[in-house]
Amino acid sequence: MLAPPETANKYLTPLPSPWDGDLAFELRTWGYRELPSQRDDLCDFGPGQHELQTAFAALGMDTRGVGEGGSNQCFHVEHANGRAVERGRDGRVPEVERQTYVVGGVRYRVTQSYTTLAINPAAGALFFLNRLSPAHAAAESWGLAGPEAVRREWLPALASSSDIAWGFWNRACSANLHHITKIFSCMITNEVTLELIDEALRTYPLAPGESRPLEVEKWPGTTFPVRFDAALALLGSPNGVAAGYFLAQHKAQLGGNKFIERVTVFRPDRGLMPYLLFWVEDAPAGPGEAVVDEKMGRDGVEPRIVKRSVDGKNVEREHVLRAKL
């Protein structure tokens, strides 16, 4: 996220993302169906739903979805029953297990993957709410041993949640694409991420007089500066990689380098499922690739992330430049 394109290309392929614009045509082409109001309940962050009243009040954000007069726009897309799905001899859409579509002369099966996002343009906030990746969905619906048994060429080219999020961001924030300040990962259930959260709370360095939390706490939760191993691990977690890709692969459209300055983990006013908040800031220009390569050769974590410079170690340790989405 902090490296110039020619340096970042060493660690992230492709850079930038080949997907741009609102992606309405591309989603249709690759077998998706959009259901704009399908999961509007997930875009209500107030009582009876996410229960994030305290956090949103502190952040100056409205908890309501647009259907209730609020600012949180909901987007839901599924990889099944799309307009590109081939009809049977009777002209009808087949059962989902038998659905196929053709792109470039190649026939693909639908995966039954899905992605649900929310966007608050005024607050510059993006919420990753619910997702089943194409690889995991295909393994389940096709009866395969696991996602590792799914070959990449069997899947839609437009597959990553960060790319799909970019299409919806273009729709909701077309007047000000640059204005992104917060990326949330919501209602976390991924076991790897939960283990990383527990490890982060157990091991992050305490400030003088600070007590170590015994569990994920309600807002304001626990915040890790990105210079901490804890923050880097969470950014590289299954629930964090999309945030890094979203910023790293759309630098030009976002007006230059954006970076994650800190990571907050917290739980809602009621409920136990944790949330991650990645705080986004502009990164001033730095000295470039020489600094990146020098710091990536060091052991350990760069003790400070300084806005005046490009922290190449940070680029590597965040994992977002190496993770597959």
Query: Is the residue at 229 inside a domain?
Result: yes
pLDDT of res. 283: 82
Peptide linkage before 220 cis (omega within 30 of 0): yes
Return the beta strands (E) in the chain as ranges.
Answer: 33-34, 73-78, 100-103, 106-109, 114-120, 125-132, 182-185, 222-225, 258-266, 275-282
Amino acid at 248: A
Sign of CA dihedral 141, 142, 146, 148: negative
Contact 170, 265 (CB under 8 A): no
Query: Is the residue at 298 inside a domain?
Result: no
Tell me the C-alpha distance between 227 and 262, whole Å. 8
Average pLDDT for the chain = 86
The SS3 assignment for 132 reads strand
pLDDT category, 320, cuts 50, 70, 90?
very low
Mean pLDDT for the stretch of residues 53-73: 96
Mean pLDDT for the stretch of residues 300-323: 30
Pick the range with the lowest mean pLDDT from 19-33, 39-53, 107-121, 188-202: 39-53
Q: Give percent of the chain above pLDDT 70.
A: 82
Query: Is the residue at 7 inside a domain?
Result: no
Query: Is the residue at 299 inside a domain?
Result: no
Return the beta strands (E) in 133-196 as ranges.
Answer: 182-185
Tell me the C-alpha distance between 154 and 205, whole Å. 44
Mean pLDDT for the stretch of residues 79-106: 97
Query: Is the residue at 188 inside a domain?
Result: yes
- Residue 106 phi/psi, 5° resolution? -110, 135
- Cβ neighbours of residue 153 under 8 Å, at least 6 residues apart? none
Work out the burial of residue 262: count CB atoms within 10 Å of its CB; fewer than 13 is exposed, 13-18 middle, 19 or more buried.
middle
pLDDT of res. 109: 98
Bin 196: left if φ > 0, else alpha if -120 < ψ < 50, else beta: alpha
Contact 236, 162 (CB under 8 A): no
Tell me the C-alpha distance between 307 and 259, whole Å. 10
The pLDDT tens digits of the residues spanning 212-269 come to 999 999 999 999 999 999 999 999 999 999 999 999 999 999 988 899 999 999 999 9
How far, in whole angstroms, is CA 59 from its chain's centroid? 20
The pLDDT tens digits of the residues spanning 148-185 come to 999 999 999 999 999 999 999 999 999 999 999 999 99
The SS3 assignment for 163 reads helix
Counting the structural domains of the chain, the total is 1
Query: Is the residue at 321 inside a domain?
Result: no
Q: Residue 271 carries which DSSP code? A: -
Residue 176: domain span? 15-291
Strand partners, 65: 72
**Is residue 2's pLDDT more than 80?**
no
Query: Is the residue at 121 inside a domain?
Result: yes
The pLDDT tens digits of the residues spanning 268-309 come to 999 999 999 999 999 876 554 433 333 333 333 332 322 322
Query: Is the residue at 315 inside a domain?
Result: no
Tell me the C-alpha distance between 53 and 98, whole Å. 44
- Cβ neighbours of residue 98 under 8 Å, at least 6 residues apart? none
Helix axes 161-172, 241-248, angle to 10 degrees: 60
